[in-house]
Amino acid sequence: MLFSASMITISVLSDNTASARVSQGQIDRLRAEKREYERRKNEVQAKIDSLEFERLNEVAKKEVLDQRIELTSLEIININEVINQFIMLIREKEYEVVLAQNREEDQLMKYRNRVRDMEENGIISYLEILFDSTSFSDLLARIDFVSDIMRADEKTYIALQDARNETEEAKADLEETKAELDEEKEQLEILEAQLFEQLEEAHELIRRMEADIETESQIRDQFEAEEARVQQEINAAVEQLRRQQEAERLRRLREQNRTGGGGGGGGASVGGAGTGQFMWPTSGTITSSFGSRGGRQHQGIDIGAPHGTSVVAADSGTVITSTYGGAYGNYIVISHGNGTTTLYAHLSTRSVSAGTNVSKGQHIGNVGSTGNSTGPHLHFEISVGGVRVNPLSKL
């Protein structure tokens, strides 16, 4: 039974150690990603610091500032993942410390029992064993026996020392990991402060642009032009996706006819199909409704939420656009079938690319204020048959 228990303990420790290695490998991969974000952000910062940046118009400047904000946001997401990995790693190392302490206690108990036996019997027991020998060959055999006992005593002591060393090493490793976690948390605070400053700089630029009547008029015209352009692209992408789905449906139908299969699967198609029921794409409050706003038609609703809040697909479908646009900033468009699409704009980061099938409620990005935006929010649109409709009528 003791042997079985020992083997189970060793097996658990081995599995845990393997898991720790996986976690450490994940941390190393995330840190490599972080270094790449830092490199790209340094390139963007160098562009901002250059004289060339000052010659750009305000819209182009905002795009460069948005690039820096996006990279800082990605760094924050990355470092939060590193922190989560460290938390998991610490739990594993805490368990390793417990196992090492248990082994030390077990060896200490064995050593104490042996010392107690020696105190009770005394060294005279060794002499008695030798003096009670009946012949020279018996004496040699008894000397070997005493040597075996002494070697066993030495092994017990060495095992105790090894167990203590393992415990100290496990504790030191745990403390080192905790120190690394603290460093990552400090770095997170620095990045969050940087992000706040970068957002303020970008928002101030937009506010200055809006304060200038001529510039604000240009921004409005640009936004309306981009809305029209984006809707045309959406309609074209929806039509292309429909043709692809129809071609795939016919291909599968021919395949079924050739193989003699049943007709039940004739309606299958490429791309994700929506349920027809939409959920809220993020948590927050409506800060701007669908309809007339400031002399122009607001084609969606604005949902105010903290920067970095998760944005999810309002319904299942296929991503047909995932890109950056001057007024929309980072935006994503999802086709849900039957000519229905949803648009998610001003994102800080995008987590899906064009062609990706997404399920309802799947994370696709994070709330931000890229593009023509003076504060973090999600601009959300629903189009049916190429015409934008009030999202509140569908949610």
Amino acid at residue number 63: E
Q: Which of 106-115, 183-192, 198-207, 210-219 has the lowest mean pLDDT?
A: 210-219
Helix locations, the chain, DSSP H: 2-49, 51-55, 58-121, 124-131, 136-211, 213-259
Count of the separate structural domains present in the chain: 2
Q: Are residues 254 and 313 in the same domain?
A: yes
Mean pLDDT in residue range 382-395: 91
Mean pLDDT in residue range 289-304: 82
Q: Are residues 190 and 302 in the same domain?
A: no
Tell me the CATH number at 234: 2.70.70.10
Q: Which domain holds residue 257?
A: 213-393
Mean pLDDT, all residues of the chain: 80
Q: Are residues 262 and 368 in the same domain?
A: yes
Of 180-189, 206-215, 285-294, the range with the highest mean pLDDT is 180-189
Q: Are residues 151 and 239 in the same domain?
A: no
* Alpha carbon distance 290, 382 (integer Å): 11
Residue 315 has pLDDT above 70, yes or no: yes
Of 58-62, 193-197, 234-238, the range with the highest mean pLDDT is 193-197
Residue 119 has pLDDT above 80, yes or no: no
Residue 25 has pLDDT above 50, yes or no: yes
Ramachandran angles phi, psi of 176, nearest 5°: -65, -40
Q: Which of 19-33, 186-200, 293-307 has the lowest mean pLDDT?
A: 19-33
Q: Are residues 270 and 173 in the same domain?
A: no
Q: What's the pLDDT at 149?
A: 60
Residue 284 has pLDDT above 80, yes or no: yes
Distances (CA, A) of 325 to 222, 267, 318, 345: 11, 36, 20, 9
Q: Are residues 279 and 329 in the same domain?
A: yes
Q: What's the pLDDT at 1?
A: 39
Q: Are residues 189 and 57 in the same domain?
A: yes
Q: Are residues 149 and 294 in the same domain?
A: no
Q: With CA atoms as reference, report the closest residue to 368 among 323, 310, 319.
A: 310
* Alpha carbon distance 306, 379 (integer Å): 13
Tell me the CATH number at 204: 1.20.1050
Q: Are residues 154 and 268 in the same domain?
A: no
* Alpha carbon distance 208, 247 (integer Å): 51
Structure tokens of 113? 């029992």
Model pTM? 0.70
Q: Are residues 199 and 219 in the same domain?
A: no
Residue 305 has pLDDT above 90, yes or no: yes
More confident residue, 179 or 103: 179
Q: Which of 98-107, 236-245, 252-261, 336-345 has the lowest mean pLDDT?
A: 252-261
Domain boundary among 144, 175, 209: 209
Q: Are residues 217 and 331 in the same domain?
A: yes
Q: What's the pLDDT at 109?
A: 78
Q: Band the pLDDT of 157: cuts 50, 70, 90.
A: low
Share of the chain above pLDDT 90, in %: 35
Q: Band the pLDDT of 39: cuts 50, 70, 90.
A: very high
DSSP states of 310-372? EEE-SSSEEEEEEEEETTTEEEEEEE-STTEEEEEEEEEEE---TT-EE-TT-EEEEEB--SS
